[in-house]
Amino acid sequence: MTSSSSSSSSTSARSSTRPVSGRGLAGKVVTIDPGHNGANGQHPEIINQLVDGGYGQRNVCNTTGTQTDAGYPEHEFTWNVATYLRPLLEAKGITVVMTRSSDTGVGPCTDKRAAIENDAGADAAVSIHGDGAPPEVRGFYVLTATRPPAGAAMAAASLRLASCLATAAVAAGFPASNTLGSGGLWKRDDLTGLNRSTRPKILIECGNMRNATEAAIMSSTDGQQWYAQALAQGIFAFLQG
Ligand code: ZN
């Protein structure tokens, strides 16, 4: 990235020349949490340990996740979408923190993932998953915590993040869930990653990996990049709102 022949103009950038599309994004912190991990299945003694799930719950550290009927695993889907999403955010000057650094490890536990997001002071925390529902079920849904773990204002921010992501997903051509919630928005009270978060936090089930149509999309590079683009647009909208 060095260039000795074009130094005369590179030092004269003014704020008026910054692209409008990046307004308000530079310096923000976004955490990306790719659900599960590649070696979880080989280490039940680790992922089945109980952790503090919030509100007095004791939940398992992590799970193996689901897969398509053809055997394409959720952990690989979430890792690939996260890997495609990260540079889209960084191109706008956003600092990205990942909750895991490869797709070959174990964990971390979901309470640890929440701690990573909290410690990063995330302006937006996005957990990426794929569902394993009956084959006729289709569509994405975005989860927030039923109970507000960090007060009403943070809960409202989480809901707005969820709404921005749902709107962006629909705009990108992804259908909202045909079974849960309304417009792709749903809540749960039993997920450690939501219950233990003190930041604007959502978990998106991008689609049903047991539905043939969505399985084909979710196990393809084009489909994973499509999801990453939609998530990036939703995050941008939230951070600029
Ligand atoms: Zn999952």
- Please report the pLDDT score of residue 9 as a whole number: 41
**Angstrom distances, CA of residue 99 to CA of 147, 182, 200:** 23, 29, 16
Q: What is the mean pLDDT of residues 183-201?
A: 98
φ/ψ region of 36 (left if φ > 0, alpha if ψ in -120 to 50, else beta) reads: left
Residue 7 domain-assigned?
Answer: no
Checking if the pLDDT of 16 tops 60, the result is no
Residue 13 domain-assigned?
Answer: no
- Please report the pLDDT score of residue 171 as a whole number: 98
Residue 121 domain-assigned?
Answer: yes
Distance of CA 62 from the midpoint of ligand 1 (Å)? 9
Residue 65 domain-assigned?
Answer: yes
Q: What's the CA gap between 109 and 84, in Å, rounded?
A: 23
CB atoms within 10 A of CB 233: 18
How many domains would you assign to the chain? 1
Tokens 């495609």, residue? 84
Checking if the pLDDT of 224 tops 80, the result is yes
Checking if the pLDDT of 141 tops 80, the result is yes
CB 29 within 8 A of CB 123: yes
- Please report the pLDDT score of residue 2 as a whole number: 42
- Please report the pLDDT score of residue 11 as a whole number: 39
Checking if the pLDDT of 12 tops 50, the result is no
Distance of CA 36 from the midpoint of ligand 1 (Å)? 6
Q: What's the CA gap between 45 and 43, in Å, rounded?
A: 5
Q: What is the CATH number of the domain that holds 53?
A: 3.40.630.40
- Please report the pLDDT score of residue 21 as a whole number: 56
Query: Of residues 74, 76, 117, 205, which has the active-site annotation?
Result: 205
Distance of CA 2 from the midpoint of ligand 1 (Å)? 42
Domain ranges, residue 28: 24-240
pTM: 0.91
Checking if the pLDDT of 197 tops 50, the result is yes
| Tokens standing for residue 16 | 């008026």
Q: What is the mean pLDDT of residues 72-93?
A: 98
Residue 171 domain-assigned?
Answer: yes
Active site residue 136: no
Q: What is the mean pLDDT of residues 71-97?
A: 98
Residue 87 domain-assigned?
Answer: yes
Distance of CA 222 from the midpoint of ligand 1 (Å)? 20
Arithmetic mean of pLDDT over the chain: 93
Residue 1 domain-assigned?
Answer: no
Residue 5 domain-assigned?
Answer: no
